[in-house]
Amino acid sequence: MSSRLAPLKVEVQCHYIESQSDPDQQHYLFQYTITLENCHEQALTLTHRHWQITDGNGSLNKVSGEGVVGQTPTLAPGERFEYSSSVALATPVGSMTGFYTLLSDNGEVLQSPIDRFPLCKPRSLH
């Protein structure tokens, strides 16, 4: 990947899902919503996602797969796409980071980073 700006602008919002979590069983569910905006001069198709999910114990889980939530969206320049998903951790805190793999209209394969974002049950940190 070249040193130019990332082809996608990535915004993340996440929150703890208390109703589907069970701390006694070390099960903490977090939902995240991601908004992607194509900052590239060509249309881009999101072909794969790559996640590194770390819990509060430092356990790392790597997840890769085709598209996002069963879709491989194509975004025209300036177009936005939003999706929601969830992740379960064994601890009340953790984080996620990764990157998307994209295919441009001219066949160029690009990667766009996903900055690390926290997963945190409210009142877990002081």
| 3 band by pLDDT with thresholds 50, 70 and 90 | very low
pLDDT band at 125 (very low <50, low <70, confident <90, very high): low
pTM exceeds 0.85: yes
Helix (H/G/I), strand (E/B), else coil: 19:
helix
Task: Please state whether beta strands 28-38 and 60-66 pair in parallel, antiparallel, or not at all (unpaired).
Answer: unpaired
One CATH from 1.10.645.10, 2.60.40.1470, 3.40.50.620, 3.40.50.300 for 8-117: 2.60.40.1470
Report the C-alpha dihedral over residues 111, 115, 119, 125, rounded to 10 degrees: 160
Domain positions in the chain: 8-117
Spatial separation of the C-alpha atoms in residues 50 and 47, rounded to whole Å: 10
Identify the band that residue 123 occupies on the pLDDT scale cut at 50, 70 and 90.
confident
- pLDDT digits 0-9 by tens, 44-79: 999 999 999 999 999 999 999 999 999 999 999 999
> CA 79 to CA 57: how far, in whole Å?
38
